[in-house]
Amino acid sequence: MSGDLTLALAALGGVVLVGVVAHGAWQARRADPKKAVTADSRFEPREPVMGGAEDAAPGDALPAGSRSDARSPGASAASPGRDELTIDGAPSRQQLRRSMPRVDALIDVIVPMTLEAPVTGDAVLSHLPGSRRAGSKPFFIEGLNADNGEWEAPVAGQRYGELQAGLQLANRSGALNEIEYSEFVQKLEVFADAVGAMADFPDMLDVAARARELDAFAGEHDAQMSVQLRARSAAWSVGYVVQQASRHGFVHGVLPGRLVLPSAEEGAPPVLTLTFDSQAALSDDPGAAALRELALGFDVSQTDAAASPFAAWHASAIALSQDLDADVVDDRGQPLTSAGFTFIDGELVRLYEALQARDLAAGSPAARRLFS
């Protein structure tokens, strides 16, 4: 009898031990990051549709995760449906080309250069300064084409009756200062002497005052929106994040840990960025690296309102939170609700209007240079 009891207890102990081992293995599997599924037709990249959400707006005080914003007027902050989270009819990136930077009196100090005689484009190109930057500020040199009367970047084989240079007054590094202006003057004087031109430089104090005013405006109207996507349960592998994001049009960016939703305009900044720990992206085994948080954002001033960046941002936040089983939170870790998105939408509208009133519409060449 005691022998039978001993055997029964031993068997029961074995069952319990097997159960404990199995439970431990199950828990370990749950703790593993979600991994990408072997590619098949269900996971072919598809462009997200910004169709449904027409939301956007700027603001100074925004709910967490944001610093001002931008959006297209008339956008609705209502949550887009799952089927609306793709972008149909978006222009192909081959259709739109980004124009080259041009001298612009809105954001540049312009220096006219009077020529003793017309000069060829070849001569201008051969004497251009090796670095067309003064400190952190870029400058551009243009010529007045003798044949068509248009200002343009120097082109070999053309003749120019006048030249001009434009030095940027401000960017995200701050206002143009006296040291940078002096460096610009030195570089341009050498160039002017080489091509037989006389440069007429504006007064340094006047230039510095303009730069400070423009920088103050830019500081008050700069906006970069961002929300966090935080895993509710299981973490994600890098491959899993890439796979899910690619379903909504995201592709690898230049930097590790950065995915982008490309613009339809070739060479333009992306509409959205999705970023995560770069160390995980560079890991020897990305499949084992566990991610629990992603940042989804867009640069308001850099992005044309016509691209509906707020709508894409809102729709992508919803779609990715569903696909990844994640919460959408602000930079304080608080859930960002529909009311929060609605508020941001309204603030962005006001920001867009303020930029437009200054002839610095979001996504315009001048705005992209100023807010860079």
* pLDDT on residue 34: 63
DSSP for 256-290?
TTEEEE--SEETSPPSEEEE--HHHHT-S-TTT--
Between CA 358 and CA 339 the distance in angstroms is 30
Three-class secondary structure of residue 233 per DSSP: coil
| 180 and 266 co-located in one domain | no
Torsion on CA atoms 152, 358, 212, 267, rounded to nearest 10: -50
- Do both 119 and 86 map to the same domain? no
Residue 101: the pLDDT is 67
Residue 189 inside a domain? The answer is yes
Does residue 41 fall inside a structural domain?
Answer: no
Domain boundary (218, 251, 283) is at 218
Distance CA 204, CA 214 (A): 15
pLDDT at 265: 86
In a domain? residue 316: yes
Asked if the structure places residue 89 within a domain, the reply is yes
User: Are 87 and 231 members of one domain?
Assistant: yes
The rounded distance, in Å, linking the Cα atoms of 314 and 51 is 12
- Is beta strand 96-97 parallel, antiparallel or unpaired with respect to 265-266? parallel
pLDDT score at 188: 98
Structural domain includes residue 12: no
213 and 239 belong to one structural domain:
no
Following DSSP, what letter does each residue of 107-141 receive, concatenated?
TEEEEEEEEEEEEEHHHHHHHS-S--EETTEEEEE
With both helix axes pointing from N to C terminus, report the angle between 309-324 and 238-246 in degrees, rounded to the nearest 10.
Answer: 130
Within this chain, do residues 261 and 204 fall inside the same structural domain, yes or no? no
Same domain flag for 75 and 199: no
Q: The whole model's pTM is what?
A: 0.74
Task: Report CA 193 to chain centroid distance, whole Å.
Answer: 40
40 part of a folded domain: no
Each residue's pLDDT, cut to its tens digit, for the chain (372 residues) gives 455 544 444 444 444 333 433 444 444 444 556 665 554 433 333 333 333 333 333 333 333 333 333 333 333 333 343 333 443 333 344 444 445 668 999 999 999 999 999 999 999 999 999 999 999 999 999 999 999 999 999 999 999 999 999 999 999 999 999 999 999 999 999 999 999 999 999 999 999 999 999 999 999 999 999 999 999 999 999 999 999 999 999 999 999 999 999 998 888 899 999 999 988 888 877 667 889 999 999 999 999 999 999 999 999 999 999 999 999 999 899 999 999 999 999 999 999 999 999 999 999 999 999 999
Tell me what pLDDT residue 4 has.
57
Residue 46 is given by DSSP the state -
For the chain, the domain total comes to 2
Last residue of a domain, one of 193, 218, 243: 218
- Indicate if 210 and 231 belong to the same structural domain: no
pLDDT of residue 284: 77
| Residue 31 placed within a domain | no
339 and 254 part of one domain: yes
First and final CA of the chain: distance in angstroms? 86
Amino acid letter for position 281: A
C-alpha to C-alpha distance for 50 and 42, rounded to whole angstroms: 21
Residue count of the chain, please give it.
372
> In this structure, is residue 8 part of a structural domain?
no
One domain for residues 252 and 354: yes
The total of other beta-carbon atoms located within 10 Å of residue 323's CB is: 18
Which range of residues forms the domain containing residue 136? 108-168+173-218
Residue 156 belongs to domain with CATH number: 3.30.1400.10
